[in-house]
């Protein structure tokens, strides 16, 4: 048995301001710090052998707080750009409500919630899936197969891609899935479920 823990970073400044963030390196707010502390308290006492996070500060800051709360100062941490948030391209930095007024609510909804339609110069969720899952299978799954407990602190869409893979969700199910900030999602994986992940295809 091994455990995989997924945590979306705490509220960021641009979450608060309702802006498209994507690959922009925006830190968490005071509320985001509280969410990270709460996640750490929830995970206190949980055995964690290694952690993975993105190259973006909001995820790294959240992980640092969790590590401090759980007193895991010697925890190995690996950062990877493959776990970064989905790129929103030309929309990054724009207010979501104002963008809806400019391009129409329906178009913005398609950019935000469709599986395979990317915003201008950005990534679709499918694109994100196609970088997250190969990385997971190559770099993270081997630890789980060794019965290690793994923590991943990342982003709404990179975690949405991973959850799609783990739970075998279809396109409609995953685009409707909300990933709360600072709330640990815990998967207890037995030998059978790990073997299933090992042989699963990496693309959809």
Of 3, 6, 47, the closest CA to residue 182 belongs to 6
8 A C-beta contact, residue 194 and residue 24: no
Annotated binding residue 156: yes
Active site residue 85: yes
**Catalytic site includes residue 61:** no
**202 annotated ligand binder:** no
According to the annotation, is 93 in a ligand binding site?
no
Query: Is 145 marked as binding a ligand?
Result: no
Q: How many CB atoms lie within 10 A of CB 178?
A: 7
Q: Is 158 annotated as a binding residue?
A: no
- Is 14 marked as a binding-site residue? yes
Q: Is 13 annotated as a binding residue?
A: yes
**Residue 89 marked as a ligand binder:** no
Other CB atoms within a 10 A radius of the CB of residue 31 amount to 15
Closest Cα partner for 8 from 157, 150, 187? 157
**Residue 47, φ and ψ in degrees, nearest 5:** -75, 125
- Nearest-angstrom CA–CA distance, 97 and 166: 32
User: 186, 116 in Cβ contact below 8 A?
Assistant: no
Options 9, 61, 92, 155, the catalytic residue: 9
114 is in an annotated binding site: no
List the catalytic residue out of 35, 85, 92, 123: 85
Place of tokens 């709404």: 156
Question: Is 32 known to sit in a ligand binding site?
Answer: no
CB contact burial 53-79 (16+ within 10 A = b; e otherwise): bbebbbbbbbbbbbbebbebeeeeeee
* 8 labeled binding residue: yes
Residue ranges of the binding site for substrate: 8-15, 21-22, 58, 85-88, 96, 112-113, 156-157
Write out the catalytic residue numbers.
9, 85
Residue ranges of the binding site: 8-15, 21-22, 58, 85-88, 96, 112-113, 156-157
């Amino acid at each position: 048995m091994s455990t995989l823990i997924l945590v979306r970073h705490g509220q960021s400044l641009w979450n608060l301001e309702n802006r498209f963030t994507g690959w922009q390196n925006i830190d968490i707010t005071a509320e985001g710090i509280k969410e990270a502390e709460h996640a750490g308290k929830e995970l206190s006492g949980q055995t964690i052998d290694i952690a993975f996070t993105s190259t973006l500060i909001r995820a790294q800051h959240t992980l640092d707080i969790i590590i401090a709360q759980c007193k895991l100062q010697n925890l190995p941490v690996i950062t990877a750009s493959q776990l970064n948030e989905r790129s929103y391209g030309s929309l990054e930095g724009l207010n979501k409500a104002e963008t809806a007024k400019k391009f129409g609510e329906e178009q913005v909804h398609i950019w935000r919630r469709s599986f395979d339609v990317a915003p201008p110069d950005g990534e679709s969720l499918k694109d994100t899936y196609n970088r997250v899952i190969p990385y997971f299978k190559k770099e993270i799954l081997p630890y789980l197969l060794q019965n290690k407990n793994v923590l991943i602190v990342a982003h709404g869409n990179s975690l949405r891609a991973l959850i799609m893979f783990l739970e075998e969700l279809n396109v409609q199910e995953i685009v409707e899935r909300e990933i709360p900030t600072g709330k640990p999602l815990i998967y207890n994986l037995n030998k059978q479920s790990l073997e299933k992940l090992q042989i699963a295809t990496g693309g959809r």
